[in-house]
Structure 1
Amino acid sequence: MPVPALFVVSGLTQYLGAAIAVGLFAVAGAVEVGWLRIAASAVLLLVWRRPWRSRWSRHDVAWVAVFGVALATMNLAFYVAIDHLPLGTAVAIEFCGPVAVAAVTGRGWRERGAIGVAALGVVLLAGVTVESGLPREDVVVGLAAIGVAAACWAAYIVLGRRVAVAGSGVTSLSVAMTLGALVFAPFLAPAAVPVLGDWRYALAVVGIALFSSVVPYALEQVILRRVSAATFSVLLALLPATAAVIGAVVLRQVPTPPELVGLVLVSGAIAMTARRTPEAPGAVGPTDPPPA
């Protein structure tokens, strides 16, 4: 299968999982569903990677724990955001995090210009959201939550690179997700776990974890072996579009023309941050998406 097609499948499954999660918000709160997704993803990744077979120093565990907290916070904030904002809008605004990292760590005019293009797209998306007729409280909470998610995504990228260099990225991810779930468990598990008493909801949680974490991350590993980091970064520009498609088809959140312009601007900013220097396939780019 061509790489762009694999990437589209990865994006569609990732945001299909988010759309399924939105359907559970009526049963449990957004943060509770977010925690269930993190915990279920951690279990699936632990079974897959079996990190206990590796040796872990205290230093490694400490960095993985910080990484896991940033990852968990990012996911929880994202779920709060999509409970108040359209999925495509939330995903586009969240990309400010990796675009900012690319701009700060980059040296060319493309990275610097990408900040302006992304900012213009976000301002347009935020303005449309404010005027969309949504309750003011939803708009304020949604924009604040997606801002936190974007900041945590930036931290995720910086911390994730450090953790990945020290060992296996997927194995470290399984430990990070487990520790992140454990940190928030005392606050969220009491209200979240009872949802699993209904087998339909339990199956939905497994589906969310599978679609949003395991399948897209496995596909991204295949993609990263076949393309350079620069190409992968350009393909990232497809993600806001795939989120908008899932939002329109599954959640009936049809974007307006101004929202489409905003999505195009953010996608353009993502493409601008792609590295232009040749790199070996499998290299990690500055705008790598969260695997969960």
Structure 2
Amino acid sequence: MDDQTQVPTAGPDARSAPAGPDSLATRLPPHLWFAVSAVFHYLGPAFAVLLFPHVGVLGMAWLRIATAALIFAPVTRPWRTFARADSRTRLLLLAFGACLAVMNCSFYLALDRLPISLVAAIEFVGTIAIALVGLRSARNLAALAIAVTGTLLLIDVKWSSDPVGLFWAFLNGALFVGYIVLGHRVARAGAGDGIAGLGAAMAVAFVVVLPIGFADALPAFFSPPLLIAAIGVGICSSVVPYVCDQLAMARLPRSSFALMLSLLPVTATLIGVVVLHQIPSLGDCLGVVLVVAGVAFHKPASAG
């Protein structure tokens, strides 16, 4: 079934007026929102790795989710979202929130043991299946093949000898698929509901991680510079990209969004150059070109 057929009917403007500042959200193309998300998706985690020695892995995950939850709360009022939602929507928001919590924790646990390029590659693997569901054309199959080839060149398909790290990386990859599926449903729930749903889900995520990383996060509360840095990571990791994802998901077919996620290893490489001073090889550069070409060649299903 085409993923577009799953969109609930919520009025003629449901697809053209996603949550957030309607004028800006509708004026800018969804691909631009995704591009912003792609940059911040690994920018925040790259800085988070530098904070692991000070607040621990789970402490950093706690601070990231707490920051996002506290920023979203006064804007989206998650308690009202839950009060007005029907039982099915509440279950969706609970599942989305639990997914966000465990995904963020497993992502950081993987980054603590594995290179960011390998974690990014494993994260992208699960999205291939989502992209395949909505291909519907030889052109899009070719686009996916080009993007996957570029990704494999980019990350050099190297495997780690750390089974624990790989476990967390694959768990994160599986939950990232859940994030796409559940996030897409929240974004398509109706006009104006996407960001409110995200805020409610983030509140759930905070409740889930509250007892897990609080002890590790405590040192940040006694060091203003460390706390400010952690808050910055939370904004870059869980506020900016998730909001942009919602604005993009509300107007892009799920398969198109999944294919565009092949850009994430590209942004991971570029951020690695800027933040971690990891200079890409010639093969990495070729991979970047192929991934960009694949995404550019892809034709969204909604385009006819």
C-alpha distance in 2, partners of 1:122/1:7? 18
Q: 1:48 aligns with which of 53, 75, 90?
A: 75
Q: 2:207 aligns with which of 173, 182, 186?
A: 182
1:128, 1:258 within 8 Å by CA — same for their partners in 2?
Answer: no
C-alpha distance in 2, partners of 1:63/1:228? 20
C-alpha distance in 2, partners of 1:278/1:142? 40
C-alpha distance in 2, partners of 1:260/1:206? 33
Q: 1:16 aligns with which of 39, 43, 49?
A: 43
1:236, 1:271 within 8 Å by CA — same for their partners in 2?
Answer: no
Matches within 5 A, 1:259-278: 259-260=284-285, 275-278=300-303
Q: In the alignment, what sits opposite 1:92? A: 121
* Offset at residue 78 of structure 1 (A): 1.7
Q: 2:52 aligns with which of 15, 25, 30?
A: 25
Code of the residue aligned with 2:116 in structure 1: it is L
Q: Percent identity?
A: 37
* Offset at residue 207 of structure 1 (A): 0.4
* Offset at residue 44 of structure 1 (A): 0.8
Instruction: Report how many residues are paired.
Output: 272
Matches within 5 A, 1:121-160: 129-130=158-159, 136-137=161-162, 140-160=163-183
In structure 2, stretches of 5+ residues that fail to align are: 1-26
Code of the residue aligned with 2:210 in structure 1: it is A
Superimposed CA distance per residue, residues 17-47 of structure 1 (whole angstroms, 9 cap, x where no aligned partner): 1121111111122232122211211111112
Task: Return closer, same or farther for 1:248/1:276 CA change in 2, 3 Å cut-off.
Answer: same
Q: In the alignment, what sits opposite 1:215? A: 240
Task: Return closer, same or farther for 1:77/1:118 CA change in 2, 3 Å cut-off.
Answer: farther
C-alpha distance in 2, partners of 1:120/1:171? 37
1:234, 1:271 within 8 Å by CA — same for their partners in 2?
Answer: no
* Offset at residue 7 of structure 1 (A): 5.1
1:32, 1:192 within 8 Å by CA — same for their partners in 2?
Answer: yes
**Helix, strand or coil at the partner of 2:53:** coil
Q: In the alignment, what sits opposite 2:130? A: 101
Q: In the alignment, what sits opposite 1:38? A: 65
**Helix, strand or coil at the partner of 1:129:** coil
1:95, 1:266 within 8 Å by CA — same for their partners in 2?
Answer: no
Code of the residue aligned with 2:41 in structure 1: it is Q
In structure 1, stretches of 5+ residues that fail to align are: 280-292
The two structures have a TM-score, normalised by structure 1, of 0.75
Q: In the alignment, what sits opposite 1:289? A: none
1:92, 1:266 within 8 Å by CA — same for their partners in 2?
Answer: no
Instruction: Name whichever of 264-273 and 162-171 sits farther off.
Output: 264-273
Q: In the alignment, what sits opposite 1:253? A: 278
The two structures have a TM-score, normalised by structure 2, of 0.72
* Offset at residue 261 of structure 1 (A): 5.1
Superimposed CA distance per residue, residues 58-80 of structure 1 (whole angstroms, 9 cap, x where no aligned partner): 44322211111112222222222
CA RMSD of aligned residues (A): 3.6
* Offset at residue 100 of structure 1 (A): 1.5
2:148, 2:262 within 8 Å by CA — same for their partners in 1?
Answer: no
Q: In the alignment, what sits opposite 1:163? A: 186
Instruction: Name whichever of 92-101 and 21-30 sits farther off.
Output: 92-101
Superimposed CA distance per residue, residues 64-102 of structure 1 (whole angstroms, 9 cap, x where no aligned partner): 111111122222222222223333442233122222112
Q: 2:99 aligns with which of 56, 70, 78?
A: 70
2:128, 2:258 within 8 Å by CA — same for their partners in 1?
Answer: no
